[in-house]
Amino acid sequence: MKLIVAACAALILCAGAAEARTWRIRPGPNAQAQLQTALIEARPGDQVRLAAGRFALTQGLSLAVDRVTIRGEGQDRSILDFSRQNQGAEGLLVTANRVTLRDFAVENARGDAIKARDCDQITFTGIRAEWTRGPHRDNGAYGLYPVNCSNVLIENSIARGASDAGIYVGQSRHIIVRNSLAEANVAGIEIENSFFADVYGNTATRNTAGILVFDLPGVPQMGGHSVRVYENRVFANNTANFAPPGNIVGQVPAGMGVMVMANRNVHVFENEIGEHGTVNIAIVAYPNTIADATYNPLPRDVIIRANRFGRSGFAPAGPFAALAQAGAPLTDIIWDGAETYTAAGRPRTEPVRITMRDNEAQGRAVTFLSLGVPVAGGDMAEAQPNTNAPALSTAREPERVRVQQD
Amino acid sequence: MRALALALLLLLSASGAVARVSADAPVNQALVLSGRPAATLTEYRFFRDARAREPNAGVTPYDLNTALFSDDAVKFRYVYTPPGAAARYNADGVFEFPVGAVLIKTFAYPADARAPNDNIRFLETRLLIRQRNGWAAYPYVWNEEGDEARYTPIGADIPVERVNEAGARIALTWRAPNRNQCAGCHMSAGALAPIGPAARNLNRDYPYADGGANQLTRWVERGHLDAAPAGAPRAAEAFNPASGSLEARARAYLDVNCAHCHNPAGPAHTSGLDLRSANADATSLGIFKRPIAAGRASGDMAYSIDPGHPERSILLHRMESLDPGVMMPELGRQSVDARGLALIREWISEMNAPAPGVPPPH
């Protein structure tokens, strides 16, 4: 009897597995319709396989079926080419749970390359998102763009040329970004308005700024916290800012390694950060007017430890250029000094705690500067640079992020 | 055996369970509730004729005070509710429709917009069916002859030639949306939902065959709606100045054209922009609201709405664009809604002071 039950179970399992279908799509004049049809008619458990080659697509693709894998033959071999896109605000939009994107590229989307909205368990592995002409203000905003997602894994992926952020995780929870390359974007990797993120083993270079940890007002999820940025190589992010003005990253000066804006409990450790014309690490308040009384623009509990710094401050940009001209020494780590802000017309003060320890700088002393701008968003002309470090943080490092994948 | 079968058939006929196939057969309620799309629109029997001009018994045409811009396409809307089941009225949102209810919308162009009632070509008919587990969206695309519409979940490109109101010949490719694109507008809190049929949009007169009457009243009379209170809200008609103030008309326009995504439960909730007519918060309405993830779509501007300055308002910039990476709405139009643009431009121009509680821009 037991045997029969086991046999039945095996049969059911096999039958279940056999039902999962593999859709095989090849480049060609019908690829657009075939691929979109597969993405609509796929059932949970199915794979959509992209052959090697260049898929010339004119309309944005979308996937809304759970547990589907889209898999190509490699991030340089299976290329979804949106150079002639005439419809759709992104190359590929995913609005389903437990989706895996693997081993293909999205090139030259008119808007964002790959957006995943409201997803649980979204994986990007071996993906490339690129605007092939290099930095250009008319490139799409984001390369890999999960927003309001939980359990986000981005690994072994590449993002190049985004006019905002190459890898951008917004308003999400439980995030890993690892072993990826962000190159020639405005922001290389940006974790924004998100909770529990581990960013490690990545390379960010030739961007305007390497890695950003930001929190902005005016969106459903605010109060970003618990972010660890470690064991990354962040170097030579000196590309002139090519973001359209108006967006927050448009305000980021070129030559920036790591930048923490607002957020609390951010740990930056064991990274190699150097060759930045402006500064290796900046810790700043959100500078613009705040209408939302619940938003806190200050960075709080920031721990900078055991990083290895290279050169910085040799070609300062933006407000830092004026500061340098006025004689302020540009250092490895710069804090704006703000501990007061106004939200919805009400002034508030709160200590910003920053711990800096065990960092090294090729044998020289690691340097720190407070710009002495007491109010968030205060005029740089009123800066009173000093070396007074803020109070030490005793915030405990968040535990390793575990991304649920089942 | 044969006798038995015959007897059974007679029995079923007597009980009315066997569907009649004559021309005046009622709406195929079993098919509506089957949970699957029929291959052709005709099978539902929403219309008496194959060309879907004559609604069947229980199928009522309706209009909205302000409609979504769809490249000047003409729209024919109908509601169907099963006998004995009415939608439940509420003053604020879309009515709560009973299982088996169907909203039918056909997109069409007259050959010449100067003769809007002649030579009307149907392009697609979209069904929203309230099933037991929620709404389902089934798109049907018409053949060129206009006598058959087939279920087409993956969308279709339909070449169209027409003459517009100015007498200009226009060739365009009508893009019937695929199933995911339907959801791109019709999602609310993760589930498919209708957009139009709320009290404020339906509260108007309609020229029924037997004379003009208020739509809400007629819906109650015909059993589509359980109640129509005397004080039901009424949205302005965006392009009829007699129907409301500039503010009311602009907000009505944004409510219908943008708020299906830009609301706290809609697909664009992550933007923090809430364009529902009921939203009273200045920042989430866009006033001095900075872009979040707009990228180049911001057009180098700092705010969604810069009061008094339409030329510095991202909202207007995106309404004006035809670039897929910039334009709003993202789908459903290939041309600019000149009238809508003029209305929103005027509204922003005349906003001369920040709303109370909003700090001046930084």
B306 domain residue, yes or no: yes
Our CA-based measurement puts residue B290 at a distance from the nearest CA of chain A, in whole angstroms, of 7
**A62 with B181: Cβ contact below 8 A:** yes
> B224 and B328 share a domain?
no
Q: Which domain holds residue B304?
A: 239-362
B141 domain residue, yes or no: yes
* Residues of A in Cβ contact (< 8 Å) with B326: 111
Contact by Cβ (8 Å): B315, B306:
no
> B230 and B263 share a domain?
no
Helices B246-257 & B338-349, crossing angle to 10 degrees? 130
- The model's pTM is 0.90
Residue B352: its pLDDT value, please?
75
Average pLDDT, integer, range B292-307: 90
Predicted confidence (pLDDT) at residue B262 exceeds the cutoff of 90: yes
Residue A380: pLDDT band with limits 50, 70, 90: confident
| DSSP codes, B164-217 | -TTS-EEEEEEEE--HHHHHHHHEETTEE--SS-BHHHH-SEEEETTEEEEHHH
B3 domain residue, yes or no: no
Our CA-based measurement puts residue B231 at a distance from the nearest CA of chain A, in whole angstroms, of 34
ipTM of the complex: 0.86
**A36 with B190: Cβ contact below 8 A:** no
Predicted confidence (pLDDT) at residue B238 exceeds the cutoff of 60: yes
> B34 and B122 share a domain?
yes
Q: How far is A319 from A382, CA to CA, in rounded Å? A: 12
Say how many CB pairs under 8 Å bridge A and B.
140
* Residues of B in Cβ contact (< 8 Å) with A214: none
Q: Which two tokens stand for residue B132?
A: 């037991």
Chain B residues 177-236 with CB within 8 Å of chain A:
178-181, 183-184, 187, 190
B108 domain residue, yes or no: yes
Residue B18: its pLDDT value, please?
36
Residue B238: how many other CB atoms lie within 10 Å: 27
Distance spanning both ends of chain B, measured CA to CA: 87
B279 domain residue, yes or no: yes
* Residues of B in Cβ contact (< 8 Å) with A62: 178, 180-181, 184
> B218 and B254 share a domain?
no
Our CA-based measurement puts residue A389 at a distance from the nearest CA of chain B, in whole angstroms, of 28
Residue B23: pLDDT band with limits 50, 70, 90: low
Which of A87, A171, A216 lies at the smallest CB-CB distance from B175?
Answer: A87
**A164 with B293: Cβ contact below 8 A:** yes
> B230 and B251 share a domain?
no
**A40 with B153: Cβ contact below 8 A:** yes
User: CA B167 → CA B24, B291, B333, B340, distances in Å?
Assistant: 40, 40, 20, 21
> B253 and B140 share a domain?
no
Mean residue pLDDT across chain B: 90
Cβ neighbors of A395 (< 8 A, separation 6 or more) are A264, A265, A301, A303, A353
Which of B154, B296, B361 lies at the smallest CB-CB distance from A141?
Answer: B296
Bridge-partner residues for B162, per DSSP?
A: B170
Domain count, chain B: 2
Segment A250-299, tens digit of pLDDT: 889 999 999 999 999 999 999 999 999 999 999 999 999 999 999 999 99
Distance spanning both ends of chain A, measured CA to CA: 31
B304 domain residue, yes or no: yes
Q: How far is A213 from A301, CA to CA, in rounded Å? A: 13
> B145 and B285 share a domain?
no
CATH code of domain A35-382: 2.160.20.10
**B358 with A291: Cβ contact below 8 A:** yes
Residue A406: pLDDT band with limits 50, 70, 90: confident
Contact with chain A for residue B299, Cβ under 8 A:
yes
> B243 and B342 share a domain?
yes
Contact by Cβ (8 Å): B310, B47:
no
Contact by Cβ (8 Å): A77, B319:
no
Our CA-based measurement puts residue A291 at a distance from the nearest CA of chain B, in whole angstroms, of 6
